Amino acid sequence: MRLKFYELADAVDAQNNFEKFPNIELSGIEFDSRKIKVGDIFLPLKGERDGHDFIETAFENGAVVTLSEVEIENHPYILVEDCLAAFQKLAAFYIEKTQVEVVAVTGSNGKTTTKDMIDSVLSTTYKTYKTQGNYNNEIGLPYTILHMPDDTEKLVLEMGQDHMGDIHLLSDIAKPKIAVITLIGESHIEFFGSREKIAQGKMQIADGMHQGILVAPADKIINKFLPNDQEVVRFGPNEDIYIDNLVEHKDYLEFEVNFLDTKLIVPLPGKFNATNAMLAAYVGKVLGVKEHDIRSGLENIQLTKNRTEWLVASNGADILSDVYNANPTAMRLILETFQAIPENTDGAKAVVLADMKELGEESSKYHEQMITAIDPDKIDRLYLYGQEMEALVEYAKDIFPKGHLKFYRKDDEVDELDELINDVSNDLKANDQILLKGSNSMNLSKVVEKLL
């Protein structure tokens, strides 16, 4: 980041007399005083601790100015009413100052993978930067903007939502040229009340656009929320863009799309990842990436950690790990993918499913309904973990032989994660295949770590 002191003050509507401070060049911004480097702005946010308590430490570490909601002495500062709001204003200003082109991605499932794919495609042709990890909220998105390298040409931003209005705010900050919605599912339905409300929230990704392109699924639930002032491209069978001749392999996909002449190969399992790759390819085409570079970008994709990936256990068994998050749509898709893969010779198939969080009052129903996605003829052992998964046990015990279904409690009194880890580790043989899927807070990553 390259910014003058006066630009900072003007961008955040400084309420104090800042003209007495020198108009020095600022090089970065941090809300963790331990990460401050010489030339940085300090951002004192209020969380478990009040960041204002660390202003002195920030200056000791090299800060040259701080934002502040109170007047301070002995250091250059910019007085603002709300430090977080000022941070967001600064990010919006910086987007306008740099004129970087923004591609925004949201969706109930697949947004991080699609973001990574878009970045991989665009980076074959442009200087790109993307949301790091899961920095996709009201703090993470402006942080990403203000930390992009100075030579960035295309910025790929992931946008998440927990409540209505979250994505409106993020879109208003980022002003995307292209916005992509991967899927409307049930994530955070506890806070929205219905899938229609989730769709309404996701569609706010277009609110900050000016003469842009919105790429959205052919899902009727979004039709009444489509913007009238943007170009809208729909994807799905017989829509504006679609997949053709898809062939699924254990750890890669090959397919064609209607807007390119070349076949695409993606080193990931699951036909849902073919859709994500198609979206990335389309963004690349719109932004002038050549077909052979689109293909190369997808073949060499580097995913954010803990997304869907094949791993090899220490004993040689195959692990399909998808333990970062979970919702009913995502769980069904990964079960479909796993069950369609032929078993290894002399091997068995095992599945570990843990609770899906933030599904609200109908959580038990969503967990029960997973029984329709489970084929006992294709799964040899089923491990269920968590308070919500207990609802599925009552149905699964009717279709699995005794000893092939195991349940592990996790509630306020008991957590049987260690028992799950031990049983899975002992049961898994060298020729087996195992799928693990659950919300991040269920800590299935610990099972994966043990197997590795």
Residues within the annotated binding site?
A: 107-113
Per the annotation, binding residues for ATP are 107-113
The values of phi and psi at residue 444, to 5°, are: -65, -15
Single-letter code of the amino acid located at 295: R
Residues contacting 395, CB < 8 A, separation 6+: 368, 371
Pairing type for strands 253-257 and 231-235 reads unpaired
Q: How far apart, in Å, are the Cα atoms of 68 and each of 29, 41, 87?
A: 13, 11, 11
> Phi and psi dihedrals of 64, rounded to 5?
-110, -15
Question: SS3 for 437?
Answer: strand
* 3-class SS of residue 88: helix
Percent composition of the chain: helix, strand, coil (DSSP 3-state, to 5): 40, 20, 40
| Helical packing angle, 271-286 and 111-122, nearest 10° | 40
Contact 122, 301 (CB under 8 A): no
Beta partners for residue 240, in sequence order: none
Residue ranges in 265-312 assigned as alpha helix (H):
271-286, 291-299
Q: Among the residues of 123-262, which ranges form H helices?
A: 140-146, 166-174, 189-192, 195-203
Nearest CA-CA partner of 380 in 351, 407, 353, 340: 351
